[in-house]
């Protein structure tokens, strides 16, 4: 399952990143995404339910589904 497939208020654990997109993986890691981190989906944008805002550790992060789909998660 990938992060973009979660719905509002669903909690999940990050299990990894798509290995084909290394640069994106670095960016995601730098801003704070990491294996084992817990994410909660909080909001979706008003148009096409995009982008999405999530709670990651203590921070709130906004990203598009286009990037979220490269983050693998496991539902909690």
Partner 1 sequence: MSNIKEKNIRLALLGAPNCGKTSLFNALTGGRAKVANYPGVTVEYRKGEFSLPNNNPVELLDLPGVYGDCGHSMDEKVAIDAVRGNLVGERSPDGLIFMMDASHINTHLHNVLQAKSYGLPIILVLNMMDIAARDGIEINIPKLESLLGISIISCVAVRNKGRVHLLEFLNEWTAKLFDGSASIPNKENNSLKDLQLKSRQITNTTVRQLGIAPTITQKIDNIVLHPLLGIIFLSGLLIFMFQAVYWWAAPFMDGIDLIFSKLQFIVDSNLPNTWLKSLISDGIIAGVGSVIIFLPQIIILFAFILLLEASGYMTRAAFLVDSLMAKVGLNGRAFIPLLSSFACAIPGIMASRTIEQEKDRLTTILIAPLMTCSARWPVYIMIIGAFIPDINIGFLGLQGLVAFSLVLGGIVFAMIMAFIFKRTLMNNAKSILLIELPSYKLPVIKDYFIGLWDRALIFINRAGRIILPASIIIWFLASYPTKSNGIVGTFAGKIGSLIEPILRPIGFNLEIAISLIPGMAAREVVVGALATIYSLDSEALDGPLKETLQNSWSLPTALSFLVWFVFAPQCLSTLAIMRKETNSWKWPLFAFFYLFTLAYLMAGITYQIAVHLGL
Interface residues toward partner 1, by CB under 8 A:
23-24, 26-32, 34-37, 42-48, 50-51, 53, 55-64, 66-67
Of 35 and 74, the one with the shorter C-beta distance to partner 1 is 35
Tell me which H or E stretch contains 23. helix 22-31
Query: Smallest distance from the beta carbon of 24 to partner 1, in angstroms?
Result: 8
How far apart (Å, rounded) are the C-alpha atoms in residues 67 and 65?
Answer: 5
Nearest to 62 by CA among 50, 74, 70, 72: 50
Query: Smallest distance from the beta carbon of 7 to partner 1, in angstroms?
Result: 14
Query: Smallest distance from the beta carbon of 59 to partner 1, in angstroms?
Result: 4
How far apart (Å, rounded) are the C-alpha atoms in residues 51 and 34?
Answer: 20
């Amino acid at each position: 399952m990938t992060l973009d497939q979660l719905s509002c208020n669903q909690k999940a654990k990050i299990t990894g990143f798509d290995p084909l997109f290394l640069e994106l993986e670095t960016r995601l890691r730098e801003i704070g995404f990491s294996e084992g981190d817990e994410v909660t989906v909080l909001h979706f944008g008003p148009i096409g339910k995009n982008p999405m805002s999530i709670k990651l550790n203590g921070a709130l992060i906004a990203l598009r589904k286009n990037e979220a789909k490269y983050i693998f998660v496991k539902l909690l």
